[in-house]
Amino acid sequence: MKNKTSGGVIELAKTLLYAVIIAVVIRTVLYEPFNIPSGSMEPTLLVGDYLFVSKFSYGYSRYSLPLGYLFPSFGRILFFHEPERGDVIVFMFPRNPSEHYIKRLIGLPGDKIQVIEGTLYINDVATKRVRDGMDLDSGPRERWIETLPNGVQHPILLRPREYPTPPARCDRENGDSGDAENTCPFKVPPGHYFMMGDNRDNSDDSRVATSGVGMVPAENLVGRAEIIFFSTNGDARWWEVWNWPFTIRWERLLKVIR
C-alpha cells in the first residue's frame, strides 16, 4: 500500500511539473496574457480588458523569458521581424524593464515625428483623420479615426480644442519646451520605435520627455496585442459572485485588436 501511495504522489508531481513546463513554453514562445490597468489606449483598449499577446511576432529577446530583465542581453534578437506601423505592442518600459507598457507603434527607425495642435505629422506630412463623434465616458473627448501612412486606421481620443495652444519652443542649447499636443520634431534612431497611446491627451509615451518611455529599443518589444479574451468593468467585488455576469463586457469578448 505504501509503495502504491508513493507511486501516486510521484506521478502527480510529474504531471504538475509537465504542466508547468508546458505553460512556461507557451508563455515564452507563443502567447502571453496581459490585462489593461490604465486608460491610455482608450478607446481601442479599456481598463479591465484581458488580452493575448503573440510572443513570436517580432522575435525573441531576453524579455521573452519570465523575469527576463534579470538576464543579460542576448546581443541580438532571435528570428527578428520588423514591426509594422500601427501595431499595438506590449513592450518593457525602458526606464524600468520590469514593467510592461502597451502603446501603438507610430514611428519607425529613420522617421521624423511631430505633433502640432494635436495633429500627428509623420515625415512632415499630417496624418488624415475624420471625426467620429464624442466619447462621453472619457472626459468628454472627441473621437477621431486616424489613418497612418501605410493605410492602418484606428480610433483616437482628443480633448476638444477651442483655442490655439502655444507652439513648442525648440532650442537645443537652452532646452526644448512643449507638451503632448505641441512637440518638437523627433528623429527615430536606428533600432528604435516611437510609441503613442490612442488616448492622446492621457498617455505617457514617446512624446513626453518625463515619461521615461522615449524611443523604445527593438530588444524591449515583447509582442503584438492580438485579441481580447475577457473584459470586465470592475463594478463587482471579487466575492459578489452573483454580480459577475453583469460586469462582463460581453461585446468585447474575442474582439480582434486593430
pLDDT digits (tens, 9 = 90+) for 106-120: 999 999 999 999 999
pLDDT, residue 6, reads 63
* Higher-pLDDT residue of 14, 172: 14
pLDDT, residue 245, reads 92
How far is it, in rounded angstroms, from Cα 124 to Cα 5? 73
Number of structural domains in the chain: 1
Q: Which domain holds residue 234?
A: 2-256
Output phi, psi for 115, to 5 deg: -115, 125
Catalytic status, residue 6: no
Q: What is the pTM of this model?
A: 0.90
pLDDT, residue 7, reads 66
| From 55, 103, 138, 206, active-site residue | 103
208: pLDDT confidence band, cut at 50, 70 and 90?
very high
CB neighbours (10 Å) of residue 200? Answer: 22
Of the chain, the end-to-end C-alpha distance in Å amounts to: 58
pLDDT digits (tens, 9 = 90+) for 33-89: 999 999 999 999 999 999 999 999 999 999 998 889 999 988 889 999 999 999 999
How wide is the angle at C-alpha 252 spanned by C-alphas 248 and 257, nearest 5°? 145
Cell of 91: 513592450
27: pLDDT confidence band, cut at 50, 70 and 90?
confident
Catalytic status, residue 206: no
161 CB-near residues (< 8 Å, 6+ apart): 117, 118, 181
pLDDT, residue 24, reads 75
Residue 8 has pLDDT above 90, yes or no: no
When mean pLDDT is compared across 20-24, 88-92, 241-245, the lowest value belongs to 20-24
Our measurement of the distance from residue 49's CA atom to the centroid of its chain's CA atoms, rounded to an integer in Å, reads 12
DSSP code of residue 81: -
The CATH code of the domain that includes 180 is 2.10.109.10
How far is it, in rounded angstroms, from Cα 196 to Cα 202? 10
**By three-state DSSP, how is residue 165 classified?**
coil
CB of 216 within 8 A of CB of 94?
yes
Region 114-142: what's the mean pLDDT?
Answer: 91
Residue in 234, 237, 224, 198 with CA at minimum distance from that of residue 51: 224
